[in-house]
Amino acid sequence: MDKIIIKGAKEHNLKNINIEIPKNKLVVITGLSGSGKSSLAFDTLYAEGQRRYVESLSSYARQFLGIMDKPKVESIEGLSPAISIDQKTTSKNPRSTVGTVTEIYDYLRLLYARVGTPYCPNCGIKIEKQSIDQIVDDIMKLEQGTKIQILGPVVREKKGEYKKIFEEYQKEGYVRARVDGETVELSDDIELDRKKKHTIEIIIDRLVIKEDIRARLTESVETSLRIANNLVIVDVVGGEEKLYSANYACPKCGFSIEELTPRMFSFNNPMGACPECTGIGYLQKMDEDLLVPDKEATLYDGIKLYGSSTMKKGDTIAQMYFESIAKHYGVKIKGVKIKDLPRSFMEKIMYGTGDEEIDFAYKSSTGTHHNRATFEGVIPTLERRHRDTKSAGMMQWYEMYMTEQECSACHGARLKPEVLAVKVGTLNIKELTDMPIRSIKEYLLSLELSEKEEMIASQIMQELSKRLQFLIDVGLDYLTLSRSAGTLSGGESQRIRLATQIGSGLTGVMYILDEPSIGLHQRNNNRLITTLKKLRDLGNSVIVVEHDTDTMYAADQVIDIGPGAGVHGGYVLAQGTAEEIAKSDNSITGKYLSGRMQIAVPKKRRNLTGKYLEIVGATEHNLKNVTVKFPLGNFICVTGVSGSGKSTLINDVLYKNIYKELNNSTMKVGKCKSLKGLHHIDKVINIDQSPIGRTPRSNPATYTGVFDLIRDIFTTTNEAKMRGYQKGRFSFNVPGGRCEACNGDGIIKIEMNFLSDVYVPCEVCKGKRYNHETLEVKYKGKSIADVLDMTVEEAVTFFENVPRIKNKIQTLKEVGLGYIKLGQSSTTLSGGEAQRVKLATELSKTQTGKTLYILDEPTTGLHIDDVHRLVDILQKLVDKGNTVLTIEHNLDLIKTADYIVDLGPEGGEKGGQIIATGKPEKICKEPLSYTGQYLKDYLEI
């Protein structure tokens, strides 16, 4: 069968649709946000494909996998095994890196174990292991007639007199030795200074290189290896001497290393992991900046947690410590600000006095007592208390003042020193994985290996080259393999999994992807499309939920779902190629594709107000000492290729520094020399895509604060007044009004051993969350449960005459969320929906006209028609005097900005610079700006 036939799909808002999707093709499903795209792709196709696969397994295997619920669909024919690649981040495990997730690190470990060259971590000398035959062969290569002597180094750089050693070797028949470079007779009375280091080498044989001395030479070498711990020195008379080892041991200091194995290069294995940090690369340590946030305060008031939350003036133990230490070092501390105290003195206070004892003076009712002791230091004391405490609360309290700091033993490399001393070419495994992926590929291709190494490594190198190329193809060439997987964005982790899937070479599979182009600059988009086609050409069905027009034109078929969102969506509007969709009158997507509808370029852009926020000398992550101005009262877009430093500049440097200043926070901030112009703003709001709540009890009504107002309305009804119901009666989080059978959840979880857990509506309240008495209270004929079950659109009409409630809900509708229910669990909202709930919440607040709004990729998950509405809302915010700053790749939004800050030129190490700033028209004229090159088409320049 060459197509997937779906009949009667009714999952979520799908309207009993029938559709045929061609197999082994690239198919894009598009439509407005909330129209039912994900319901068709993930909740119907993927869910059924996965369910059928799991059902075919044994009951024993099924109990570990869990079975997905059967979607609401009459029948699906021609379904293949399904693999979903969505935007959920790869792993929050600190041990997961880009290298381990893609399995490239496994191949690198193999490469280093098989063709790596160990060096001594102490001396830097190459460590070689040779057999007796190899050693003899090497010596025989010397010119005929060369005079040599064979020596066995029995003592190397060690203190002692060694009389017994001289006697022992004399008894064995040896005549001479070389002691500290001087040849001596063993029969002489040799006197050595036992306090000095000595080197003793027994002279085993003296030879002249000739054809017939091989047997004698072999015997002498064997003797030296036996008496000198597998070492032999060949001293060429009048020339250089050479040391050979039959172990993996340093010929100079004797440092030995085991036979190289792949396990030794794993930071998740005790054989290779740094013992100090157990292979994580960092440790949780007290942070001096968090403990001493106010450098303007005195020592008595400025140090957090020591003695109390901050020290109070008076005769505390801590004060006694500080005064005694100050007296010992002759430093005045009374009335002196911390910033004016000598740094050497602060080091003693914070980190201790080491072995130096201090005369501590204790005052009590019986007089002053003295005690000489060392001082442990504020930070070591608090770290010890953190280690020793059994209280979870205290542990949490200490951790507020701790940050992740680089391990001092391995300096963040995660591995043991002897492992880091193994090199392939000129780099160890840490240095290699710290390079961007594109540079790793270039380095491996340029390696000069011997013929033997080439034979061993050829297959490994082939596999490495292939996998690295897949990552380059999906636009991730700027990432390093050592980057922690938890720091990747949703788009990056999705593209990593996409590259890994291509590497797996599976065929006959149905892949379902959720907006793989998220976070990707137009420049990288073509490579991503090529990768999707490659996945299709392997013999797979590739179904992509996507809004990107380039992907639609590259697809074999486009399915447009709509026409609206929520209850207004769920129909198939059009199906065919992008060109056919563009001609369709039913399809909103088609109207934008054909240009019949479009987001207009502003006729006139706002002028600069003369007020700026300025970052000076930002150096966080890959930023190259960036200084940049952001004009206030403008709509600003920060652009640049993936990995160029946009999020670092805006989220880590700008937002965190402003937030810290405005709120006196102890937040860790991105590094910059200074931030100017803060007096122009009174508030900064970062509207990101993190969930609005982590439990099913959180919903849009509770997050926006409208639920409080709705409960107030219910308490004013006559029924509620008669019964004496207060506001708490209408909450499903506290006993009283809620259904106690399900604790206000409305559903009950039933655990099934062999099947997935089943959630069934509560039999008592029938899923309404409240008890019978509470539901009897009605406002305009609706109970509190009925109101929570309304969509935003319905609620706007229902509360028409209650401005306080209507205005808050209206903003949810304006940001394109008219289809979500007021009581919808926050865990079911996508990242883009959560971001828009936050945006609506901020929009409904009173505007000061001096607020800075920061949005990170607000067009994520939005159809071009939704982007149109979003642009209108953001422009209205700026019209009120506020500043809106977005990090964005979507050119439809970028073209409407007043001012652009473009970073680049590339991603990773090759990024972190300001390429251009100014109005969009100016950016288009900048030859180095990739954004400008693509923006020209949208501005028709």
CATH classification of the domain holding 236:
3.30.190.20
- The answer on 221 and 146 residing in a single domain is yes
Q: Give the tens place of pLDDT for each residue, 748-794.
A: 877 655 555 567 788 899 989 999 999 999 999 999 999 999 999 99
Q: Of 519 and 719, which is predicted with more confidence?
A: 719
Q: What is the CATH number of the domain that holds 366?
A: 1.10.8.280
- The answer on 623 and 718 residing in a single domain is no
Give how far Cα 423 sits from Cα of 70, 114, 203, 340, Å.
Answer: 54, 11, 35, 47
Q: In this structure, are strands 3-9 and 73-77 parallel, antiparallel, or unpaired?
A: antiparallel
Tell me how far apart the alpha carbons of residues 111 and 26 are, in angstroms, rounded to a whole number: 37
- The answer on 236 and 143 residing in a single domain is yes
Residue 9 lies in a domain: yes
Rg (CA), the chain: 36
pLDDT average, residue stretch 283-307? 79
Q: Is 70 exceeded by the pLDDT of residue 280?
A: yes
- The answer on 621 and 576 residing in a single domain is no
Boundaries of domain holding 339: 285-402
Last residue of one domain, picked from the residues 402, 432, 453: 402
Element (H, E) at 477: none
Q: What is the CATH number of the domain that holds 54?
A: 3.40.50.300
Q: Which residues contact 301 (CB under 8 A, 6 or more apart)?
A: 294, 310, 311, 312, 313
- Neighbour count for residue 940 (Cβ, 10 Å): 7
Verify cis geometry, omega within 30 degrees of 0, for the bond prior to 563: yes
Residue 629 lies in a domain: yes
Q: Is 50 exceeded by the pLDDT of residue 839?
A: yes
Q: Which residues contact 367 (CB under 8 A, 6 or more apart)?
A: none
pLDDT for 157 equals 83
pLDDT for 166 equals 93
pLDDT for 321 equals 85
Could you tell me what percent of the chain has a pLDDT over 90? 67
Tell me how far apart the alpha carbons of residues 683 and 680 are, in angstroms, rounded to a whole number: 10
Q: Most distant CA pair in the chain: distance in Å?
A: 120
- The answer on 684 and 744 residing in a single domain is no
Q: What is the CATH number of the domain that holds 783?
A: 1.20.1580.10
pLDDT average, residue stretch 860-875? 92
Cβ proximity of 486 and 404 under 8 Å: no
Q: Is 80 exceeded by the pLDDT of residue 317?
A: no
pLDDT for 309 equals 42
Q: Which residues contact 364 (CB under 8 A, 6 or more apart)?
A: none
pLDDT for 314 equals 45
Q: Is 70 exceeded by the pLDDT of residue 352?
A: yes
Residue 437 lies in a domain: no
pLDDT for 94 equals 87
Residue 265 lies in a domain: no
Residue 903 lies in a domain: yes
Which of 653, 689, 663, 647 has its CA nearest to residue 839? 689
Least confident window among 82-86, 644-648, 870-874:
82-86
Structure tokens at 752: 């099934």
pLDDT for 518 equals 86
Tell me how far apart the alpha carbons of residues 692 and 841 are, in angstroms, rounded to a whole number: 11
- Which segments of 352-489 does DSSP mark as H helices, in order? 378-388, 392-399, 417-420, 429-433, 437-445, 451-473
- The answer on 796 and 730 residing in a single domain is yes
Tell me how far apart the alpha carbons of residues 360 and 372 are, in angstroms, rounded to a whole number: 6
Residue carrying structure tokens 């607040």: 845
- The answer on 381 and 356 residing in a single domain is yes
Tell me how far apart the alpha carbons of residues 205 and 211 are, in angstroms, rounded to a whole number: 17
Element (H, E) at 767: none
Q: Is 80 exceeded by the pLDDT of residue 929?
A: yes
pLDDT for 424 equals 97
Residue carrying structure tokens 């609401």: 72
- The answer on 659 and 581 residing in a single domain is no
> How does residue 198 score in pLDDT terms, banded at 50, 70 and 90?
very high
- The answer on 71 and 137 residing in a single domain is no
- The answer on 207 and 151 residing in a single domain is yes
pLDDT average, residue stretch 415-437? 96
- The answer on 583 and 526 residing in a single domain is yes
Q: Give the tens place of pLDDT for each residue, 453-463.
A: 999 999 999 99
> How does residue 307 score in pLDDT terms, banded at 50, 70 and 90?
very low
Q: Give the tens place of pLDDT for each residue, 364-403.
A: 778 888 899 999 999 999 999 998 988 888 888 888 889 8
pLDDT for 295 equals 83
Any bridge partners for residue 770, and if so which? 738
Provide the Cα torsion 716, 718, 724, 729; round to 10°. Answer: -60
Last residue of one domain, picked from the residues 373, 402, 431: 402
pLDDT for 315 equals 45
Distance in Å from the first CA to the final CA of the chain: 48
Residue 843 lies in a domain: no
- The answer on 156 and 218 residing in a single domain is yes
Structure tokens at 717: 């009804």
- Neighbour count for residue 298 (Cβ, 10 Å): 19
- How many distinct structural domains can be found in the chain? 5
Structure tokens at 677: 């112009």
Q: Is 70 exceeded by the pLDDT of residue 2?
A: yes
> How does residue 289 score in pLDDT terms, banded at 50, 70 and 90?
confident
pLDDT for 90 equals 53
Last residue of one domain, picked from the residues 402, 422, 448: 402
pLDDT average, residue stretch 5-9? 98
Q: Is 50 exceeded by the pLDDT of residue 97?
A: yes
Q: In this structure, are strands 758-761 and 747-750 parallel, antiparallel, or unpaired?
A: antiparallel
> How does residue 16 score in pLDDT terms, banded at 50, 70 and 90?
very high
Q: Is 90 exceeded by the pLDDT of residue 489?
A: no
Tell me 341's DSSP state: S
pLDDT for 313 equals 45
Residue 120 lies in a domain: no
Q: Is 70 exceeded by the pLDDT of residue 158?
A: yes
Residue 273 lies in a domain: no
Q: Which residues contact 279 (CB under 8 A, 6 or more apart)?
A: 95, 266, 267, 268, 269, 272, 273, 414, 415
Average pLDDT of the residues of the chain: 90
